[in-house]
Structure 1
Amino acid sequence: MSTVSDEQWRGVAAEDTEELDRQVGLKLKRRSRALLGTLLRPHLRWAVIGLVLVFLENAARLAGPLLIAVVIDTGIPNAIRGDTTVMAWCVVAYAFCSVASAGLWATFLNISGRIGQDLVLDLRQRMFRHSQRLSLSFHEHYTSGKVISRQTSDIDSFTDLLEVGIDDLLTSVLSIVGITILLLTLDLDLAALTLATALPLFFVTRWFLRRSNQAYRGVSGRTATVIVHYVETMNGMRAVQAYRREDRNRSIMDGLNTRLRSAARDSLDVVATFTMSVRMVGNLSLAVVLAFGAFRVADGTLELGVLTAFTLYLRRFYEPLDDIAMFANSYSSAIAALEKISGLLEEEPDVREPKQPKPLPPHRGGLPIEFTGTEFRYRPDTPIVLTSLDLTIPAGQTVALVGPTGAGKSTIAKLVARFYDPTGGTVQLAGVDIRDVSDVELRGSVVMVTQENFLFSGSVADNILLGKPDATRTEVESAARAVGAHDFITALPQGYDTDVRKRGGRLSAGQRQVIAFARAFLANPAVLVLDEATSSLDLPTERVVQRALESVLADRTALIIAHRLSTVLIADRVLVVTNGQITEDGHPQDLITGEGHFAALHTAWRDSLA
């Protein structure tokens, strides 16, 4: 019986890994090229026009050496004999070709520039729209730094390809094809010698394309890690300075930047090696052709004008290869970027819009909520958060959820707001599975206020208007009065028109929270979810909001998640959640007199006030 050595097993594993890497690389390339195709498709007509212009410009530019050859071999001898017709026509033709080349090139640049900007605009809009459509679960594991990297460095790589690379590629390829035809037309022997000396370039180019793709994939990935760390550091600057993490963050950034520099150096080394090889082959080829051609001119088998034109074309034959190298450089970078972008665009939302939405019934007085056998886990590899939850909340009832951290309270709220879909069972509003409700109707019927109290840059009124964009100023002020925000808003420098600045930094945490309340109340939802929404309020502000809540929560269904018992006590019903299950259910006053978890919480809260 034969055995396999460890070395053989490692060899097989290495081969399998290489094959897997190759297949993954091919899949990424196909995906990125497919994305590029969808971007270009609406602009095909103008792209064809641009291609025709480049072809005509290239023909006009390549006519120059032929005209010079005619002047040397025919025009000058005729002029010596007194006939300047050929010389004059060649001069006029050369001037015409020069002007035509410049005009055609300028027109092409204008067209290609417009197409390029349209493509970039389309790609940016696709990414932004798609990122907003993706579910909350995506944004919780795909960091904002990665999204920013897709919108910045990756888009810049694609822009560089459009602005410089494609123009150079078209002119270079057409020049090489045109010059090859002209060389074969001028002299077959010299052309054969040239093509033979250029054979090594085929192998060098294959090596370059393979290595440059690998190099720029590494640069793109490491650029993203730098941006991710930078964004994380800036967003957490308070914690960084509070806990003196500057040195640690600097050390991490130094390591990331060093790896990025190494990847960038590798990519530059690849380009330098290719450029050196092209120029070395080009110079050696030119030297060989000049030597061979000179002997033929001397023995009369080749005209001097033909040799002159041939050498001029030969110099132009190798020059575009540098441009092709630069294009390949930009192309590799852009393809690596498009691989990342296409990966983002291929992400599918976990919470999907129903194909045939069902309407919710009229909801004056709120909507009933029903959990039936509801189970949920955040990812397949994480523990179950909710287990076979059965719960009915009548329309118009205010329910408070309490329990230890991680018990599943916020998960229940997120399922009602449909930030996630249950992994088992159903969540229904008025008998309609929320998975069958359109996003527009659901977001208008269920509003959630969290402890994050996020405000956008802009005025106070703008932030309140998010709840109802078409509301009047009177409605905005009424909502602010309902939650006790009107007085402090009018005390601001420009009142409701005061700019709250980035993330609402001009306001205190409590003020931001109250504005978030006003925004939700203006939306007038059938179901209102408050997830630790009073956690940022100081005691005076909390008392104002408590009074407002009693009137605002009327005629709608409400879920309140709070650790502050003062907020919980205004509820019609309290649910104690433990390990994803409802362990206590009743009116606050009834549970307080018992001996369960809620009674213990109330006793501890009352003692803390004393």
Structure 2
Amino acid sequence: MSADLDLEEELARTPLQRATLKRLFGYAAPHRRALALVMALEAVWVVSMLVEPAVVRGLVDGPLQRQPDGSFAAGAAATAAVLLGVFVVNVVLRAITTRWELRTSTRVGVKVIDRLRRDVFGHVQRLSMRYFDRTKQGRIIARVDRDVDNLEHLVFWGPILITMMLLSFTFGTITLVILNGKLALYLLAGVPLTWLLSRFFHRLGFPAYRRIRETHSAISAHVAETIQGVRVVQAFGQESREAGRLADLQRAYRGAVLHGARIAGAYLPSLGLVFQIVTVAILLAGAGPVARGEIPLGELIQFELMLGFILGPVEMLGGFYNECLVAGAAAERIFLLLDTEPEVVDRPDAVDPGRLRGHVVFDHVGFRYDPKATSARQLEDVSFEVAPGETIALVGPTGAGKTSVINLLARFYEPQVGEIRLDGHEIRDLKLEALHQQMGIVLQSSFLFDGTVLDNLRFAKPDLTPEQAAEGFDRLGCAHVLQQLPDGLLTSVGERGANLAEGERQIVCFVRAWLAEPSILILDEATSAVDTRTEALLLGALRRLTRRQTTVVIAHRLSTVREADRILVLEHGRVVEQGTHEQLLAGDGAYARLYAHYAA
């Protein structure tokens, strides 16, 4: 389990940290004016709500109060009409403020969520390869997508509900104290009980909702992995096994959800019970004075209505509690990701070297993918030099360290021992963006993004014209491949290039690399996944592609590397031989054995 997952497990056993909420609401800081408007509108709404109980009291103790002879007082109808008019105006005013309040709060919420999602997505793209090696794809997707989505209700409704509760309780309590201080004491007596109750259930509930998010993330990771490997699953008839694994994860998720529901199910009734006790206590305490004529009936009714006005928002916030817990758990997972530092970053004094000539030096390089491991390194004391414009090939058995060499050259990882130099610069002294802009990479599994052929070629050159793209196919001797596509450059390649044949996908990747005009070209098993006829086509393109820059080629098919200027043979992470194809064959060493095995 990675350190990242260990930290999630530790967090799952602890309550929500205040720093998380402070950091989350920090995303709303640029929208202070809009939030101030929300608070102002909410204040208007609260004041309008204070008017209604006063209107009811005015009606009960005024126009609706009968005289000793059973008749209504003179002018009662006019007074009632005025009070009802105030009531209607109040309702209209509240409707207008509510509309603008919701619009403003939603606008702020959308902007906050948008910024947060962009921050998370941008950070994921900057993370080093080692993070992706140890973290399941489904977990990452869950954070960028579902975890951010789970913050929407808190961000959209949180400011309104929190402001409503604070203002309602503050203004309402002041009004009740002024109205009848003795009865107000019953309300104030319930405040500490409500606070203790909320704190108790929060400490129980938050770890439970963290566990819900974690088990859901595990399900997402399993589904993503199974879909990616569906061919393997079907080929080995393991559908039942994978379904069983999903059932186990679902069982854990269901248990976590039910546990959270039990906590929430106990909290809301407990909160409601406290409110009912307070309400009944005030009614009992006020009934006697009303019966004795010490306070008017309208005052007690106003007091009870005000009580509902105060406790209603608190109860609404209690109902919102579940979503707050879900959002809090999601926020901690998001910030855990944002706090994960990339391992490969620019040094403070990193430079842009300008156009590289492609002079590469590996100087006693040692490397392992897990720096903390004690096993043998993937590369051990590797030294070689590549002249500008030279083509070298890396060959050797599986696990010899060939891909590790190009991973270091592309600076996806950094060596623990030795150094790599480009045009005399230590590679860590160069800006990553400047380095990657001058590298073209074609991998064994050709990756194309969903879109058209032209869209994918524009990854190499964003302002690429259709004419320039067509020229790329022509220069590599592959114009006929473009002509065979149903819509030419506008052909939709589908997700991962699924609409194209393997050879067509690889040709598009070759053209993309050529259009980038790289100083250093890396080809990692670029022809290994195609048939011999397509390989011949790709080799022709490869000859044209490697004429103008330094090229590093990895291939199991030795026919691909015969024309290299120099061949490096790796075994157990070390360079054991180097020379031309003819020289190495004549030497009767490791390369000769590989070639004999290949020819057989």
TM tier, shorter chain? over 0.9
**Is the aligned partner of 1:379 residue 2:367?**
no
- Check 1:529–1:501 CA distance in 2 against 1; reply closer, same or farther (3 A cut): same
Residue 204 of structure 1, aligned match among 175, 191, 197: 197
- Work out whether residues 577 and 584 of structure 1, in 8 Å CA contact, stay in contact via their aligned partners in 2: yes
AA at the equivalent of 2:498? G
> 1:109-508, aligned counterparts within 5 Å?
109-197=102-190, 199-360=192-353, 362-363=355-356, 366-382=357-373, 383=375, 384-508=377-501
Deviation at 1:76, TM superposition (A): 4.0
- Does structure 1 residue 43 correspond to structure 2 residue 31? yes
Corresponding residue for residue 56 of structure 2: 68
1:604 aligns with: 597
For 1:461 and 1:36, locate their aligned partners in 2 and report how far apart those are by CA, in whole Å: 40
TM-score after normalising by structure 2: 0.93
Q: Which residue of 2 aligns with 1:539?
A: 532
Shift of 1:307: 0.8
Aligned CA distance change for structure 1 residues 546 and 89 (closer, same or farther; 3 Å): same
Contact 2:466 2:489 in 1 (8 A): no
Residues 275-298 of structure 1 deviation map (CA, whole Å, 9 limit, x = unaligned): 111222222332232222111111
- The 1:38–1:515 alpha-carbon spacing in structure 2 relative to 1, beyond 3 Å, is same
Question: Match for residue 13 of structure 1?
Answer: none
- Counterpart code for 2:323: S
Question: Residues 286-325 of structure 1: CA distance to partner in whole angstroms, max 9, x if unpaired?
Answer: 2232222111111122211111111222233333232111
Residue 29 (1) aligns with residue 17 (2): yes
Percent identity, please.
Answer: 31
CA contact (8 A) 1:367 1:526 kept: yes
- Conservation of the 8 A alpha-carbon contact between 1:449 and 1:516: yes
* 1:169 and 1:323 in contact (8 A); partners too: no
Query: Is the CA contact 1:417–1:447 (under 8 Å) kept in the aligned structure 2?
Result: no
Aligned AA (1:44): R
Range with greater deviation from structure 2 (499-508 or 544-553): 544-553
Letter in 2 for 1:244: G
1:159: Cα distance to partner? 0.6
Structure 1, unaligned stretches of length 5 or more? Answer: 1-19
Compute the displacement of 1:477 (Å).
1.8
Higher mean alpha-carbon deviation, 112-121 vs 475-484, is at: 475-484
Deviation at 1:227, TM superposition (A): 0.7
Tell me if structure 2 keeps the 8 A contact 1:413–1:529: yes
| CA deviation after TM superposition for structure 1 residue 267, in Å | 1.7
Aligned residues: 585
- Offset of 1:24 from its aligned partner? 8.1
Contact 2:268 2:319 in 1 (8 A): no
Q: 1:359 to 1:305 in 2, by over 3 A?
A: closer
Alignment of 1:10-21 (within 5 A): none
Runs of 4+ in 1 over 6 A off after TM superposition: none
Q: Is the 8 A contact 2:521 2:550 kept in 1?
A: yes
Q: CA deviation at 1:252?
A: 1.1
1:534-560 alpha-carbon deviations (Å, 9 max, x no partner): 111211111122223223212311111
Deviation at 1:229, TM superposition (A): 0.8
Change (3 A) 1:153 1:440: closer
| Matches of 2:328 and 2:262, distance apart in 1 | 19
Q: How does 1:86-97 map to 2 (within 5 A)?
A: 86-97=79-90
Does the C-alpha gap of structure 1 residues 551 and 484 become closer, same or farther in structure 2, counting only changes over 3 Å? closer
How far is the alpha carbon of 1:86 from its aligned partner? 4.8
Kindly indicate whether the alpha-carbon contact (under 8 Å) linking 1:574 and 1:586 is maintained by their aligned counterparts in 2: yes
Give the whole-Å Cα distance in 2 for the aligned partners of 1:31 and 1:406: 45
**Secondary structure in 2 matching 1:593:** helix
Q: Secondary structure at the match of 1:391?
A: strand
Whether 1:82 aligns to 2:74 is yes
- Give me the whole-angstrom Cα distance separating, in 1, the residues matched to 2:571 and 2:21: 51
| d(CA) in 2 for partners of 1:587, 1:21 | 56
Per the alignment, residue 55 of structure 1 pairs with 43
1:527 aligns with 2:515: no
Per-residue CA deviations over 1:373-406 (Å, capped at 9, x if unaligned) read 3221212233322223222111111111111211
- State the alpha-carbon separation in 1 of the partners of residues 150 and 599 from structure 2: 61
CA contact (8 A) 2:402 2:570 kept: yes
Q: What does the per-residue CA deviation read over 1:62-118, in whole Å, with 9 as the maximum and x for residues that have no partner?
A: 221122213322444599331446545433332222221111111111100100011
SS in 1 for 2:460: coil
Decide whether aligned partners of structure 1 residues 489 and 396 sit closer, same or farther in structure 2, where only a CA change above 3 A counts: same
- CA deviation after TM superposition for structure 1 residue 31, in Å: 4.8
Question: Per the alignment, do residues 274 and 456 of structure 1 end up closer, same or farther by CA in structure 2, a change over 3 Å counting?
Answer: same
Offset of 1:362 from its aligned partner? 4.4
Please tell me the residue identity of whatever aligns with 1:115: V
d(CA) in 2 for partners of 1:335 and 1:375?
Answer: 43
Greater Cα offset, 348-357 or 511-520: 348-357
How does the TM-score come out when normalised to structure 1?
Answer: 0.91
Q: Give the Cα–Cα distance (whole angstroms) in 1 for the partners of residues 190 and 412 of structure 2.
A: 64
Aligned-partner residue type, residue 43 of structure 1? H
Residues 179-228 of structure 1 deviation map (CA, whole Å, 9 limit, x = unaligned): 22222222122222333355532322111222221221111111111111
**How far apart, CA to CA, are the structure 2 residues paired with 1:147 and 1:354?**
27
Q: Report SS of the residue matched to 1:406.
A: coil
